[in-house]
Structure formats: C-alpha cells, structure tokens
Structure 1
Amino acid sequence: MSEKIKAETRTEFGKGAARRIRRENKVPAVVYGHGNDPIHVTLPGHETMMALKHGGANALLELDIEGKTQLALTKQVQIDPIKRLLEHVDFVAVIKGEKVTVDVPVQLVGEAARETLVVTENATIQLEAEATHIPEYIEVDIEGAEAGTQIHASDLKLPSGSTLLLDPEALVVNVTAQQSAEALEAELEEAEAEAGIEREESDKDVDEVGAESSEGSSSEE
C-alpha cells in the first residue's frame, strides 16, 4: 500500500537551500526515472518519516505534486546520524502494475534449538515484484531448527507475484552447533601457533606459576 504525501516543487538547490528547508521541518527530495528530468520536491518532515517507517526499506509513496499524482519508490534515504532526522530522500518514479527489482530484508521467526548458532548469510533477498505489491520483508521460520540446518534461497516462501532473482542455491540462513568457550580458545591458540604468535603471560598465569614455586620451596625445607 502506498501512502499519500503532498509535495511541493522546489527551484532552490545546494546546501544552503537544504538547510533552510530542514529548518522548516521539511525534507528535500528528488524523483528520478522513466526518461523524464528529475523532479526536485520538498516533503513534510514528520509525515514522510512516518511513511518511510511504515513502508520499510522499499516504501512506496503516492506524491501529490501540484495536483498530479506520482508513485515513488524509495531508493536512498539520508538520515542525520546524531539528530536521527531525515536529511534527503531519493525516489524512483514507478507506474502501477510495473515490475521493479528490489532488495527485501530477511526476518527470522522463532527460535532455533538450544546450543545452536544462527547465522544470516544473506540479510536481503533480491526480488522482482509489482511496484504496488513489494513485500516489506521475507519471513524465514527457524523454530526448533537443529544444528546443520541450512535454508537456501529456493526454500523461501515468496509472496504471490514475486520472482526470486537471487541464485536459488544461495545460502540464506545457516544453523551450526554453538562452540564452547574452551573450544574457541583452543582454536585461537592453534591459529596463533600456526602464525608464529607467542602469547604474553597474563598476570593470572604469572601468579599461578609463582604460587607453585613457593609451594615447592616450602616442601623442600
């Protein structure tokens, strides 16, 4: 579902103009696509932020630009790293019924078996879908999955009308046995030994050696 946003065309560009727009709690944006010149617009900040949150990574907005409606697919969003406010949005113009290529996030559902480690090998799945029917995410059920379970792209349940573009054999989720701390330490020591790295003795090791030496001296006396 697309969300309707009223947009204003703009003729001022550059950092200074962008700052003035943001001070008014608005967001500068550009709509590209379909062989037309880019359309530079200004959007209401709060409404746009909420629409992007609702729509996810591939939010579809219905922009009202001077009385004309334009479907716009979100392609790039710039957010202030400190204030967490929208700074700029790039859109691609689309037409209802048009097929588009998108990267859709993977969402894990459920919990794997105990003492397992779940690794997401592909966090997004490339699909072809209708612009107005892009899934927000692809669910992957890992409930009770045992070590050794592997879920490939071909195993995913895609929404009707979506076509997988990722290699069907691509590994999406890998469930392995969880290693103990001792096993990890042993692997690290082996890797360091192969690389010729010598560990410095920790204070704990030095204290233990010192304690053993003291015990030995006492027994000899």
Structure 2
Amino acid sequence: MNLEFDRIMPSLPYIMEGIPTTLKVVAVAAVIGFVLGILLSILKISRIKPLNWIADFYTSIFRGTPLVLQLMLIYFGSPQILGIQIEAFQAAFLAFGLNSAAYISEIIRGGILAVDKGQREAALALGVPYSGMMLNIILPQAIKNILPSLVNELISLTKESAVVTIIGLGDIMRRSYIVGGETYKFFEPILFAGLIYYVMVMILTILGKVIERRMRRSD
C-alpha cells in the first residue's frame, strides 16, 4: 500500500469548492427534468395519437443514447449547429435536464395511471377542467405514490453529474483530477471525491424518507 493522504490534505478545500457547482447543475437539471417530465407524461396519456408519438420519440432518443454522448453533442456540437459556444454550465444542466425528463416522464405516467379512474370521472362529471383536474387532483396523488422513484432519480442525477468533468466544468470530480495531476496521487483525491458524493446521496436519501413520512401522515 502506497497511500499518502497527507499529500492531498492541503488540497481538500479546493476539491470541496466543487460542491456548489455540482449542486447547481443538479438543482437546475432537476427542475427542468421535473417540469418537462410532467409535460411529457401528459402527452403520453393523451388521446391524441401524434402527441403520444412525439413524447415516446423524445423518450426513446434520450433513453436510447448515453448521457455522456448527449452532453458532448450539446457542448461540442453547439458551435457547428448554432454558431455559438454554449457555456459548460449551461450545457451540463441542459443535457442532464433533458435526459432526466425522459425518465421522470415514465415515472409520472405510471403514477398517473395508478390513480383511481373513478376520481377522474368524478372530476369531469363535476365540470372540473382537465388542466385543473390534473394539477389539483391527479398529479398530487400521483407524486405522493411515486416519491421514492423521484428521489432515486434525483440520486442518480447527483452521481451522474460527475461526467461534466469531460467538458471542463469545475465540479467535485474535475477538481479531484486536477489535484491528482498536481500531486501524482490520483487514488486519494478520487477517493475523497467519492466520499463527498456518498455524503450527498445519504443526505438526499434521508430527506426523501422524511418527506415521504410526512406525506403519509397527511393522508
């Protein structure tokens, strides 16, 4: 064993400075993924077939290709396609948000379909508009049922955010690589980065369980 943690100790604050960057990417991507996921899930259960096809095609694209490929296409392809260079942070939350929306849409679709059809029929019979029914009656119940799955998706998003290092964004993983290059000791800083990710995931897990308990008590 040739481990020298003392050599990277002075660089630990530098690695930890990547935490806000990681959290910002995850937070913005989560909002995009959740909002777009709701929209896609509604399109998927629509009685209008072309809307079903559009949502299913979107999902197939983002679930059928690697996330790292999507990130690289947005970041490295933007100068050729759009004529401008999208910033690394913007490329990161766009790629993660669009990708996450594909998975969240399937989760929410399953939650919506699991809600008792009688409630939908009763709402329509009372003259409740479709949009009001979905936002105030169906979606709240669906989200309550799929909360564990949504938390799992957020956890996956947090861990997968490490791939933004390939576009040079100064996240936790990128900074640990830099420390490794400077000290010629890669195992130690990468292990420390792994510890940070583990702590963040555990915090999300605990928060998810707390929210789930409170929602159950409110029934």
The structure with the larger Rg is 1
What's the TM-score bracket when you normalise by the shorter of the two chains?
under 0.3
The structure with the largest strand share of the pair is 1
Tell me the TM-score normalised to structure 2 length.
Answer: 0.21
Larger relative contact order (C-alpha < 8 A, sep ≥ 6)? 2
Tell me the TM-score normalised to structure 1 length.
Answer: 0.21
